[in-house]
């Protein structure tokens, strides 16, 4: 394995991905942060758009293998699969997801897949208020929607851990003080 890392941080709306990925970006030398929002087209034509976007992303990532750069992703194709499993899209992404995951697991990086979750699921409602900011209508999620997303993300993490032993899979409970989460991340990622 290469010395460079790929770190994918996934989790439901309100789980703390932005805070954690900003922290990691600023704490691990030579790290590029990518924040992906996916394809907003939830119709069947969105499947081809999503497939192209993530296939291209994996090709780009593969080109970065020998540059001694760490790649940090706040969401990737895992989110697309999550949203499809929950019925937010008119199509199934599972076949594409399975192939992308297989290719992802073969990249010459130390690969980390981190799912952020909240043990107390009632915290999502408060966190989704986004410090009083008004979210655009396309970005609004309910607390129950986040709970549903979280459950699927944790299921996906278990599936990845079972099938791809070379991917370091961690579920991090993210309602504790940030300093405690930072210590846990330092231990996991060895920085």
In tens, the pLDDT along 107-129 reads 999 999 999 999 999 898 888 87
Tell me what pLDDT residue 106 has: 97
For residues 47-73, give the mean pLDDT: 96
Tell me what pLDDT residue 140 has: 52
The yes-or-no verdict on residue 46 having pLDDT over 50 is yes
Judge whether 21 lies within some domain. no
The yes-or-no verdict on residue 136 having pLDDT over 50 is no
Pick the range with the lowest mean pLDDT from 37-46, 108-117, 161-170. Answer: 37-46
Judge whether 2 lies within some domain. no
Full-model pTM = 0.92
For residues 176-181, give the mean pLDDT: 95
Q: 81-111 burial string, b = 16+ CB within 10 Å, else e?
A: bbbbbeeebebebeebbeebbeebeebebbb
Domain range holding 168? 32-189
Q: Look at the chain and report how many structural domains it folds into.
A: 1
pLDDT band at 1 (very low <50, low <70, confident <90, very high): very low
User: Are the CB atoms for 165 and 127 separated by under 8 Å?
Assistant: no
SS3 of 129-162: CHHHCCCCHHHCCCHHHHHHHHHHHHHHHHHHHH
CB atoms within 10 A of CB 187: 10
Judge whether 65 lies within some domain. yes
Q: CA-to-CA distance for 90 and 41, rounded, in angstroms?
A: 9
Phi, psi of 36, deg, nearest 5:
-110, 140
The yes-or-no verdict on residue 44 having pLDDT over 50 is yes
User: Are the CB atoms for 139 and 130 separated by under 8 Å?
Assistant: no
**CATH number for the domain harbouring residue 85:** 3.40.50.300
Pick the range with the lowest mean pLDDT from 37-41, 118-122, 152-156, 187-191. Answer: 37-41
Judge whether 11 lies within some domain. no
Distances (CA, A) of 89 to 86, 92, 106, 137, 141: 8, 8, 28, 17, 15
Judge whether 14 lies within some domain. no
Judge whether 165 lies within some domain. yes
Q: CA-to-CA distance for 50 and 47, rounded, in angstroms?
A: 5
pLDDT band at 134 (very low <50, low <70, confident <90, very high): very low
């Amino acid at each position: 394995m290469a010395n460079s890392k790929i770190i994918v941080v996934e989790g439901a709306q309100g789980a703390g991905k932005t805070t954690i990925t900003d922290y990691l970006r600023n704490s691990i030398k030579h790290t590029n942060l990518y924040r992906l929002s996916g394809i907003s087209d939830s119709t069947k034509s969105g499947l081809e758009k999503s497939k192209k976007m993530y296939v291209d992303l994996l090709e780009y990532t593969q080109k970065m293998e020998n540059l001694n750069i760490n790649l940090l992703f706040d969401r990737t194709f895992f989110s697309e699969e999550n949203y499809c499993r929950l019925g937010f899209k008119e199509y199934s992404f599972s076949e594409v997801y399975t192939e992308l995951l297989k290719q992802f697991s073969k990249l010459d990086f130390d690969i980390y897949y981190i799912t952020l979750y909240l043990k107390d699921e009632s915290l999502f409602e408060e966190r989704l208020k986004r410090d009083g900011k008004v979210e655009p209508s396309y970005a609004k999620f309910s607390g129950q929607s986040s709970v549903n997303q979280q459950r699927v993300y944790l299921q996906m993490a278990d599936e990845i851990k079972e099938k791809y032993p070379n991917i370091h899979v961690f579920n991090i409970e993210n309602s504790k003080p940030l300093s405690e989460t930072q210590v846990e991340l330092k231990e996991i990622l060895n920085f």
